[in-house]
């Protein structure tokens, strides 16, 4: 039987998972598999087009399935070919949502130290005293090779995420409509660092802090008492209106830029009261204008991040 022509094949929706080695791609792929995706790990770039052609033929025969593909630096420097391949596939009508996982250098080094596995780009053994510096240099090379792909993807910073939290964030991202812009409002604590996945960062630390009100200290920005307290602060109301106006002004331009996701990070000192309140309020205010996701990095994060996955071993 002759294979269907491209014109006879409907659109195909693919989730691509990529990112820095040791940032949690295995956890993300497990989350997608649990959500019903057919998952392929470490697919060689040269086989990507043929694999997608087979999936499109399945869809044309009435056997469509949700597909997730993991591609990362284990393919070597050929990873530089991935971005132009993705552009070609999108021109052919394939919808590809690219999720890029990243983490801070200190956390990546610690994860490699705990698992004692070599980085995929490692080529030769080094003296023990040079191991950490060599690893840092290798991760920096990896970042350079993946910079273009990161720019074209939705980034998730896993530095402070528990595995369960990452699974939840990935599931929510892929459930959002890929054809419309999704606004992600993320609260965080400045004392633990600015999220690497933020497109816009707003600082609300200058506002009155519920932390210093004894009865509000143990609560969060989602609790009614804290909400009432912040609503009564003129500075909080003014800043909320200003942030809303800024985002509303540039929302059409962001859509015209063909973005799938825009992450707006709101930070306060501890990530418990003010930033949570602002993320929740903005999520509600923009719900009628765009698909919105609200997430809070600190509320259920552990004091220190634990390994999300064992970093992949080097190819031989």
What pLDDT, on the 0 to 100 scale, is given for residue 272?
A: 96
Structure token digits, residue 274: 């003010």
Nearest by Cα to 273 from 237, 220, 233 = 220
What pLDDT, on the 0 to 100 scale, is given for residue 7?
A: 37
- Across 234-253, average pLDDT: 96
What pLDDT, on the 0 to 100 scale, is given for residue 10?
A: 44
Residues of each domain in the chain carrying CATH 3.40.50: 6-162
Half-sphere exposure of 171 (CA within 13 A, CB side): 13
- Across 73-89, average pLDDT: 85
What pLDDT, on the 0 to 100 scale, is given for residue 247?
A: 96
- Across 294-314, average pLDDT: 64
Per the model's pLDDT, the better-predicted residue between 165 and 301 turns out to be 165
Q: List, for residues 94-134, the tens digit of each pLDDT value.
A: 888 899 999 999 999 888 888 778 888 876 445 445 677 78
Half-sphere exposure of 14 (CA within 13 A, CB side): 28
What is the pLDDT confidence band of residue 273, given thresholds at 50, 70 and 90?
A: very high
Using an 8 Å Cβ cutoff, are 166 and 31 in contact?
yes
Beta bridge partners of residue 94, listed in sequence order: 12
pTM: 0.76
- Across 257-262, average pLDDT: 81
Structure token digits, residue 162: 């528990």
- H helices present in 123-223, as ranges: 131-151, 163-175
Using an 8 Å Cβ cutoff, are 282 and 243 in contact?
yes
What pLDDT, on the 0 to 100 scale, is given for residue 3?
A: 41
Structure token digits, residue 104: 């801070």
Q: List, for residues 175-224, the tens digit of each pLDDT value.
A: 877 667 899 999 999 999 999 989 999 999 999 999 999 999 999 999 99
What pLDDT, on the 0 to 100 scale, is given for residue 270?
A: 94
Q: Tell me: pLDDT of 313 over 80.
A: no
Distant-in-sequence, close-in-space partners of 23: CB < 8 Å, separation ≥ 6 = 101, 102, 103, 108, 158, 308
- Across 13-33, average pLDDT: 92
Q: Tell me: pLDDT of 9 over 70.
A: no
Nearest by Cα to 103 from 40, 181, 19 = 19
How many whole angstroms separate alpha carbon 186 and alpha carbon 271? 10
Place of tokens 């309020």: 281
Instruction: Estimate the crossing angle of helix 234-256 against helix 224-231, to 10 degrees.
Output: 100
CATH of domain 6-162: 3.40.50
How many whole angstroms separate alpha carbon 299 and alpha carbon 295? 9
What is the pLDDT confidence band of residue 304, given thresholds at 50, 70 and 90?
A: very low
């Amino acid at each position: 039987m002759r294979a269907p022509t491209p014109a006879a094949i409907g659109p195909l929706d693919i989730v691509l998972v990529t990112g820095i080695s040791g940032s949690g791609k295995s956890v993300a792929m497990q989350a997608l598999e649990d959500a019903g995706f057919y998952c392929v790990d470490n697919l060689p770039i040269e086989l990507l087009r043929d694999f997608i052609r087979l999936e499109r033929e399945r869809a044309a025969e009435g056997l469509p399935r949700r597909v997730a593909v993991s591609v990362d630096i284990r393919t070597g420097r050929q990873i530089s070919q991935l971005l132009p391949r993705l552009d070609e596939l999108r021109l052919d009508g394939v919808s590809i949502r690219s999720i890029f996982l990243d983490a801070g250098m200190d956390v990546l080094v610690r994860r490699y130290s705990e698992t004692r596995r070599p980085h995929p780009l490692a080529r030769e053994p080094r003296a023990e005293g040079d191991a950490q510096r060599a690893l840092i240099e290798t991760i920096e090379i990896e970042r350079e090779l993946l910079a273009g792909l990161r720019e074209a993807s939705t980034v998730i910073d896993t530095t402070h995420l528990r595995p369960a939290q990452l699974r939840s964030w990935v599931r929510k991202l892929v459930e959002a409509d890929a054809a419309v812009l999704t606004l992600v409002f993320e609260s965080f604590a400045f004392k633990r660092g600015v999220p690497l996945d933020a497109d816009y960062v707003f600082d609300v630390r200058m506002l009155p802090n519920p932390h210093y009100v004894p009865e509000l200290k143990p609560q969060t920005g989602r609790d009614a008492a804290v909400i009432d307290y912040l609503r009564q602060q003129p500075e909080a109301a003014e800043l909320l209106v200003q942030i809303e106006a800024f985002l509303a002004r540039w929302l059409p331009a962001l859509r015209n830029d063909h973005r799938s996701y825009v992450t707006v990070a709101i930070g306060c000192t501890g990530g418990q009261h003010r930033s949570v309140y602002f993320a929740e309020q903005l999520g509600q205010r923009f719900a009628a204008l765009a698909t919105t996701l609200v997430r809070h990095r600190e509320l259920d994060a552990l004091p220190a991040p634990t390994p999300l996955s064992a970093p992949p071993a080097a190819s031989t």
